[in-house]
Structure formats: structure tokens, C-alpha cells
Amino acid sequence: MDKTKILLDYLSQFLTDERKVQLNKVIDQRTNHFAVALENIYQPHNSNAVIRSCDCFGIQDCHVIETINEFRFSKNVSKGATKWVNVHRHKGTTQAISALRREGYQIVATTPHTDDCNLEDFDVSKKSVFFFGAEKRGLSQTVLNEADVFLKIPMVGHTESLNISVSAAIILQHVSRMIREENIAWQLTTEEKEILRLSFTKSSTKRLDDHLKVFEKSII
């Protein structure tokens, strides 16, 4: 038995049965078929609200690019979602895109300024990362040059764009619903679920540091 499994079994004793059932229920609905990338978001409430939407709709990975603006956590906005969503931090857009391509993602630029693909027509079968840009500037030219798809939300009013957190919520709700309705292998692998189960268990365990110290001593 590997150390991860031993540690998971050890920490699980400090959770109620109800809590363990809830964690497993959430893990079964998690996906890395889709991911989110936030490029230089200025307002913390916007980036944290997007992470909250990731948690709500089962998106496990959010990538934040900090070329200009540093990402800041906000518990009041995220409502604890940053404990449950993997937040990956990148210093540059090119580096982030390269890393995401290596993981098999197509790059989807969300922008109201192109006519490439409306949300209702988006092909959810492809592994995709949705890029959202800064509040005023939008996505960088780097993302626009590298994008495989330009995605827009159809609108009929005078205002041409939505707040970034609203856009993300609409897109994530739509695509997460669609993959569950279609014959797509969107769920995590058994190994990925075990890794996430340990992460969730750690986040749910009170006095975690104390328990980890006892565990380390017990296996020496």
C-alpha cells in the first residue's frame, strides 16, 4: 500500500461518515475535461467569483496568469471554493498556454468581438481551457494569436459584454451540463479521484498539521 493510500486511511478516521459521503459525491462530479484560465484579472472579487463557479459546476482546475496583476484570494467572495479547486499560478501567458497544450487542451478565447462560435454551437467533446481576460483590456494578443476557438455568448441588448464572472458562470454551466448529457468521458480517472480525495480530506480535517505530525512519526 502506498503512502498516499495510508495517509488517506489515517485522516479519514477524523471525518464523519456523512462528510466522507459528501466528498465522494462531489469527486464523482469533478472533471478536468474543461479548465479555466484567468489572464491578469485586476479585481479579486472577479477572479474569486470565477473560482466559485468552477467549484459549483465541477471544474477542478483554474489557471491564473499574473504577468501584470497578482492573484489575491478572497474568502468572502469565493466562499471557500479555493479549498476545493486547484489554482495553478503562471507568471506568463506563453508559458501557461504551452503547459496547457501539453496537457491536451485546446485554447478557447472568450470574447464578444469575433463571430467564430456561439456558445450553443460549441463542441464540448474536445478537451478545452476557457481563457478570460482582464476587465478593461480583455484578452492579450498572445491569447488571441494562439486561440484554437473564439467563443462568444449571444446577446441582444445595447451592452456588448458581460462581467467576467457572469460570463464564466454562463459558459461553465452550459458546457458542464452538455458533457453530462452527451456520451463523453468527462469524469476523473480512478487515480485522479484518489489524489483529489486526499486533497479534499486534508481540507476537511481539523487540526490537520497536528495529525500530519503524528502520522509522519508513526511511519518512520
CATH of the domain at 160: 3.40.1280.10
Are 15 and 40 in a shared domain? no
Whole-number pLDDT of residue 1: 54
219 vs 31, more confident: 31
Confidence class for position 137, pLDDT limits 50, 70, 90: confident
20 grid coordinates: 466522507
Are 163 and 80 in a shared domain? yes
CA 61 to the chain's CA centroid: 3
Are 204 and 155 in a shared domain? no
The yes-or-no verdict on residue 99 having pLDDT over 80 is yes
Whole-number pLDDT of residue 87: 95
Are 68 and 132 in a shared domain? yes
Q: Domain count of the chain? A: 2
Are 37 and 26 in a shared domain? no
Are 180 and 99 in a shared domain? yes
Structure confidence by residue, pLDDT tens digits, 19-70: 999 999 999 999 999 999 999 998 989 999 999 999 999 999 999 999 888 8
Output the CA angle 8-29-133, nearest 5 degrees. Answer: 105
Are 5 and 71 in a shared domain? no
| Average pLDDT taken over every residue of the chain | 92
What is the domain range of residue 172?
A: 31-186
Confidence class for position 158, pLDDT limits 50, 70, 90: confident
The yes-or-no verdict on residue 18 having pLDDT over 80 is yes
Whole-number pLDDT of residue 33: 98
